[in-house]
C-alpha cells in the first residue's frame, strides 16, 4: 500500500509539472517578451536596466514595430552598456533611424567616438554593417570623402567576391558625383595608394567622355599600371561593359531640330552645343560620327522626316524637340533605330514595342522639383511655402514638388502663382505668410481700444522653408520681399533657372543664402568639359546649348546605359541615368549664393 501511494503521488506530481503548450503566434510572444523586458528594466539599476531595454528594442525591431523600437532606444543610457552591447545598440539604432528619415541621428550614431575606438573589437559582420551604413549615409549627405573611405575599407574586409563587387559598385557611384575640380584636389593631396588609384581611374573616365574608344584605351593603360589595385582585380561592372559599347558606337547620326520659326533659337542652340563638342573631340584626335541635320519646322507631322532620316542611313536619331512632335513620334507604328527625343511626354503612352528604341531626354524642371523635395526633407524641413510662376513649366514644377512632398508626409502652403510681368511680390506673399491677418488684428484692436497701437507684423510660424521656381530677375525681387515680410529665417530652395553661369556679384547679393539645384556647366571646375555656351546667349538658351553638349555624349553612351542601367554619365546638365521607362533623368549638384558668389553646397546641413 505504501508503494502504491508513493507511485500515485509521484505520478500526480509529474503530471502537474508538465508545462502548458502555448498556441500564441510567434509575433505576439515576442511582443509580450518585449513588454516583460521593459517591466524588468523599470525595476532594475544600471547596467541591467539598459540591457533589458536593449533586449526590448531588439524584439520590437524583429516584429517590425519600428516606432516602439526607436522610442525604446531613445531612452537607453548608452554609456552604461558594455562594449559588445553598445555596438548592437548603435547599429540597430542607426539602421532604424535611417529607415525613418532621421538621417542626422544616424550620422551621430555612426560617428560616435566610442564606436571608432572599439571598431577592431567588433565581429567581422558588425564591422561590415557599420562600414556599409557609413558609406551609404555619408554618400546621401554629400560627405563624399567619408563615404569613400568607409566603402574602400568595406571592400578590404569583404569575405566574398560578391561582397567586394557590391562595395566597388557603391564606390564608383560615389565617385560619379564628385565634381571634377574637387576630385583633382583630393587626388593631389592623397597618400593612400588604394584611394589614389580610385581617383585616378575616375578621372580617366571624366576626361575621355567624348570618345569611348579613347577612354577604353586609357582604362587598359590604367589597369596595366595599377595591376594590383582592387578595382583592377574586381572592376565596377560599368568598366567591364565598355568594350562592347566601344565597338557599337553609331557612325551616322540624324538630328531632327526646328531651325526656323518660334523654336528656331532652341534648335540652333542644341545644334551649336552638339557641333562644338564634336569639333572638340575631333581636335583631340578622337573619332567623330557623320551628322545630318533635318529641319522639322515646316512639317506638320514628324513621320515623313523620321522615315527619310532612317532611309538615309541614320543609326541613331536625336530629336525632335517640340512635345507635340515627340508624341507623334512615340505613336509611329515602328521605331526601327535608337531615337532620343529631346523632350518628355507628360504621360508615356507609347506602345511597349517602342521601349527598345525610344528614349526621352530634356531639361525637365520636374526632375529638379523632386530632387529639391528629397533634399529639403533629408535636411529636416516639413512645411513648405511654394512660389512658382503662372506658366506651363511653373505648373509642372509645382505639381512634381507637391506630389513628392505630400508623398513624404510634408505640409504645403501654395502662394498665388506670379505672372511674368510681376514686379511687386508683396501682395502675393502677404496672404500666404498671414501678414495681412496680423494687420487685420491690429486694426480690430485699435477700434476696440480707440487708440493707435505700436505694432510689428508677424508672419505665420508654421513654415520651415520656401520652394521657389524663378528666373534670376524674378528671384532677385522675391528674396528681398521675403526678407521684408519677416521671412528672412526661412531656407529657400530654388531650381537651376535662377542661375545661368553669369557672374554678377553686385546683383547676386539679392540671392544671398538661396540653395539651388545647379547645372554642372554653370559651376566652374565642376566638369572637365572644355566647351561652354557663348555669354551673349539669352539665359534659357545657354542651358539648351548645354543640352546639345550632352546629346553628343549620349550618342556614344546610350547602349551602355541600356545594357547597364546603373551607368551614370557626368554631363553638363547633370549626372545622367536611364530609368526603366526609357527617360534619361538628370541629377544636379547643389550650390548656394554667398556674398554674391556661387559656391558648391553638396554637403547637406541639419535644420
pLDDT in tens, 21-76: 456 788 899 999 999 999 999 999 999 999 999 999 999 999 999 999 999 999 99
Q: Tens digits of per-residue pLDDT, 84-95?
A: 999 999 999 999
124 — pLDDT class (breaks 50, 70, 90): very high
444 — pLDDT class (breaks 50, 70, 90): low
Query: How far is the C-alpha of 464 from the C-alpha of 210, rounded, in Å?
Result: 43
Whether a cis peptide bond, with omega within 30° of 0, leads into 106 is no
Q: By C-alpha distance, which of 351, 397, 353 is closest to 517?
A: 397
**Quick check: 519 pLDDT over 70?**
yes
Mean pLDDT of 143-164: 95
> Do the Cβ atoms of 257 and 295 come closer than 8 Å?
yes
Q: Calculate what percentage of the chain has a pLDDT beyond 70.
A: 91
Strands 252-257 and 316-318, by their bridges, are parallel
Q: How far is CA 188 from CA 177, 196, 199, 351, 515, in A?
A: 18, 9, 10, 51, 29
**Quick check: 540 pLDDT over 90?**
no
Q: Could you count the other beta carbons within 10 Å of the beta carbon of residue 449?
A: 9
Mean pLDDT of 524-536: 83
The domain limits of the chain are: 27-204, 248-360+530-563, 366-518+590-600
Query: How far is the C-alpha of 506 from the C-alpha of 46, rounded, in Å?
Result: 61
Please give the pLDDT value at position 410.
96
Mean pLDDT of 487-493: 95
Q: Which three cell numbers stand for residue 74?
A: 531613445
**Least confident segment among 130-139, 207-216, 217-226:** 207-216
Please give the pLDDT value at position 397.
96
Query: How far is the C-alpha of 144 from the C-alpha of 135, rounded, in Å?
Result: 9
540 vs 8, residue with greater confidence: 540
Please give the pLDDT value at position 16.
40
Fold of 248-360+530-563: Rossmann fold (3.40.50)
Topology agreement, domain 248-360+530-563 and domain 366-518+590-600: yes
**Quick check: 183 pLDDT over 60?**
yes
Fold of 27-204: 1.25.40
Q: Could you count the other beta carbons within 10 Å of the beta carbon of residue 464?
A: 18
- Identify the helix (H) or strand (E) that includes residue 579: none
**Quick check: 13 pLDDT over 50?**
no
Please give the pLDDT value at position 7.
37
Measured torsion, CA atoms of residues 216, 218, 224, 230, in degrees rounded to the nearest 10: -80
Helix (H, G, I), strand (E, B) or coil at 412: strand
Mean pLDDT of 381-406: 96
Fold of 366-518+590-600: Rossmann fold (3.40.50)
18 vs 36, residue with greater confidence: 36
Query: How far is the C-alpha of 219 from the C-alpha of 158, rounded, in Å?
Result: 25
Q: Tens digits of per-residue pLDDT, 353-378?
A: 556 899 999 998 899 999 999 999 99
Q: By C-alpha distance, which of 472, 516, 518 is closest to 494?
A: 516
Q: Tens digits of per-residue pLDDT, 544-581?
A: 999 999 999 999 999 989 988 888 888 999 999 999 88
**Quick check: 350 pLDDT over 80?**
no
188 vs 349, residue with greater confidence: 188
Mean pLDDT of 274-298: 93
String of DSSP letters for 473-529: HHHHHHHHHHHHTT-TTSEEEE-GGG--S---HHHHGGGTT-EEE--GGGSTTSS--
**Least confident segment among 119-128, 221-230, 427-436, 477-486:** 427-436
**Least confident segment among 175-189, 207-221, 426-440, 581-595:** 426-440
Please give the pLDDT value at position 329.
92
> Do the Cβ atoms of 307 and 278 come closer than 8 Å?
no
Amino acid at each position: 500500500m505504501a508503494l502504491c501511494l508513493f507511485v500515485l503521488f509521484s505520478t500526480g506530481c509529474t503530471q502537474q509539472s508538465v508545462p502548458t503548450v502555448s498556441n500564441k503566434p510567434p509575433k505576439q510572444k515576442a511582443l509580450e517578451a518585449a513588454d516583460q523586458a521593459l517591466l524588468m528594466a523599470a525595476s532594475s539599476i544600471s547596467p541591467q536596466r539598459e540591457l533589458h531595454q536593449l533586449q526590448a528594442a531588439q524584439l520590437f525591431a524583429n516584429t517590425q514595430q519600428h516606432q516602439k523600437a526607436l522610442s525604446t532606444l531613445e531612452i537607453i543610457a548608452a554609456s552604461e552598456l558594455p562594449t559588445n552591447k553598445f555596438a548592437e545598440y548603435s547599429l540597430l539604432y542607426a539602421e532604424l533611424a535611417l529607415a525613418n528619415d532621421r538621417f542626422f541621428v544616424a550620422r551621430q550614431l555612426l560617428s560616435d567616438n566610442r564606436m571608432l575606438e572599439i571598431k577592431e573589437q567588433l565581429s567581422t559582420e558588425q564591422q561590415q554593417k557599420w562600414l556599409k551604413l557609413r558609406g551609404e549615409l555619408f554618400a546621401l549627405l554629400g560627405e563624399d570623402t567619408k563615404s569613400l573611405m568607409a566603402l574602400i575599407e568595406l571592400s578590404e574586409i569583404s569575405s566574398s567576391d560578391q561582397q567586394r563587387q557590391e562595395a566597388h559598385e557603391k564606390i564608383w557611384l560615389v565617385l560619379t558625383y564628385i565634381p571634377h575640380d574637387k576630385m583633382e584636389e583630393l587626388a593631389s593631396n592623397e597618400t593612400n595608394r588604394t584611394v589614389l588609384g580610385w581617383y585616378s581611374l575616375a578621372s580617366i573616365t571624366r576626361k575621355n567622355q567624348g570618345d569611348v574608344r579613347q577612354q577604353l584605351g586609357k582604362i587598359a593603360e590604367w589597369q596595366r599600371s595599377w595591376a594590383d589595385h582592387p578595382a583592377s582585380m574586381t572592376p565596377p561592372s560599368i568598366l567591364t561593359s565598355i568594350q562592347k559599347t566601344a565597338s557599337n558606337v553609331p557612325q551616322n547620326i540624324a538630328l531632327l531640330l526646328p531651325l526656323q520659326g518660334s523654336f528656331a533659337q532652341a534648335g540652333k542652340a542644341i545644334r551649336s552645343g552638339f557641333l562644338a563638342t564634336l569639333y572638340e573631340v575631333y581636335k583631340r584626335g578622337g573619332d567623330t560620327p557623320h551628322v545630318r541635320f533635318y529641319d522639322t519646322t515646316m512639317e506638320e507631322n514628324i513621320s515623313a522626316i523620321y522615315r527619310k532620316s532612317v532611309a538615309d542611313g541614320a543609326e541613331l536619331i536625336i530629336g525632335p524637340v517640340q512635345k507635340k512632335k515627340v508624341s507623334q513620334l512615340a505613336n509611329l507604328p515602328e521605331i526601327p533605330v535608337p531615337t532620343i527625343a529631346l523632350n518628355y511626354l507628360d504621360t508615356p503612352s507609347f506602345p511597349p514595342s517602342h521601349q527598345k528604341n525610344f528614349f526621352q531626354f530634356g531639361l525637365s524642371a520636374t526632375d529638379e522639383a523632386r530632387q529639391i523635395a528629397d533634399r529639403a526633407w533629408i535636411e529636416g524641413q516639413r512645411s513648405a511655402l511654394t512660389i512658382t510662376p503662372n506658366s506651363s513649366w511653373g505648373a509642372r514644377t509645382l505639381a512634381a514638388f507637391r506630389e513628392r512632398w505630400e508623398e513624404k508626409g510634408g505640409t504645403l502652403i501654395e502662394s498665388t502663382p506670379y505672372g511674368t510681368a510681376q514686379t511687386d511680390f508683396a501682395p502675393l506673399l502677404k496672404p500666404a505668410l498671414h501678414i495681412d491677418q496680423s494687420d487685420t488684428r491690429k486694426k480690430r484692436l485699435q477700434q476696440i481700444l480707440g487708440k493707435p497701437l505700436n505694432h510689428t507684423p508677424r508672419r505665420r510660424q508654421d513654415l520651415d522653408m520656401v520652394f521657389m521656381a524663378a528666373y534670376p530677375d524674378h528671384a532677385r525681387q522675391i528674396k528681398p520681399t521675403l526678407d521684408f515680410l519677416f521671412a528672412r529665417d526661412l531656407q529657400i530652395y530654388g531650381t537651376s533657372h535662377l542661375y545661368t553661369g553669369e557672374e554678377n556679384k553686385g546683383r547676386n547679393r539679392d540671392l544671398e543664402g538661396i540653395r539651388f539645384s545647379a547645372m554642372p556647366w554653370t559651376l566652374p571646375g565642376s566638369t572637365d568639359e572644355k566647351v561652354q555656351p557663348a555669354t551673349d546667349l539669352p539665359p534659357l538658351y545657354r542651358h539648351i546649348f548645354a543640352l546639345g553638349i550632352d546629346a553628343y555624349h549620349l550618342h556614344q553612351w546610350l547602349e551602355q546605359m541600356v545594357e547597364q542601367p546603373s551607368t551614370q554619365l557626368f554631363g553638363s546638365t547633370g549626372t545622367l541615368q536611364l530609368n526603366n521607362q526609357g527617360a534619361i533623368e538628370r541629377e544636379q549638384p547643389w550650390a548656394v549664393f554667398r556674398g554674391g558668389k556661387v559656391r558648391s553646397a553638396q554637403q547637406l546641413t541639419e535644420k
